Amino acid sequence: MVLAIASLVALIAVGVHHYSQFYTEYRLSTWQNTLTAYAPWVTLGFALIVMVSSIIFMVSGEETRGKIANAVSTPMEVIQDKVAEAAAVMPSAASATNAVTAGINNMIKNVTTNTTNASAQQQQPNAARRNNTVKSPNIPGAGFSASGL
């Protein structure tokens, strides 16, 4: 019995010590609990706003309903119109990339022909050079071959 009482006193002492040592951590981790007192008032306020809005919408005339419906749909229509205008003004992808890719391809061809010429001359100075006669296949949907990029 003495052992049970001693362990109960020790357990209470450890609990009090733990709570006093970590009081600030408990306080910081439970700060949301104080907001629970405001939850019913927030819910009632939201419900009141919805009820008043729906009553105004039901009592109002056709003209007001049309304005409200137009105010809701107008931003999406404006966005769609601006996207259509931008798409009409935008150049096609083929015209935008042809000049860039042609320049890059010319640089690559010049570099590869210069390096292959130099390496061929170093390896076989008197050998005849053969041209590559293999043609690239057409790119599906583009209408031109890959070598024409």
Model confidence over 55-100: pLDDT tens digits? 888 887 777 777 766 666 667 778 888 888 888 887 776 666 667 7
From the number of C-beta atoms within 10 Å of its C-beta (0-12, 13-18, 19+), residue 149 rates as: middle
The CA-atom distances, in angstroms, between 132 and each of 20, 64, 87 are 85, 75, 41
Q: Is the pLDDT of residue 128 over 70?
A: no
**List of residues 6+ apart from 135 with CB closer than 8 A:** 145, 147
- The alpha-helical segments, DSSP class H, found in the chain are 2-21, 23-29, 39-59, 62-89, 93-123
**List of residues 6+ apart from 102 with CB closer than 8 A:** 149
- What pLDDT, on the 0 to 100 scale, is given for residue 90? 79
Higher pLDDT, 42 or 137: 42
Q: Is the pLDDT of residue 44 over 80?
A: yes
Domain boundaries, the chain: 39-116
Local confidence band at 12 (pLDDT 50, 70, 90 cut-offs): very high
- What pLDDT, on the 0 to 100 scale, is given for residue 141? 65
**List of residues 6+ apart from 149 with CB closer than 8 A:** 101, 102, 105
Higher pLDDT, 84 or 10: 10
- What pLDDT, on the 0 to 100 scale, is given for residue 102? 77
State the chain's mean pLDDT as an integer: 77
pTM of the entire predicted model = 0.30
Query: Using one digit for the tens of pLDDT, what is the confidence trace for 17-43?
Result: 998 998 888 777 777 888 888 999 999
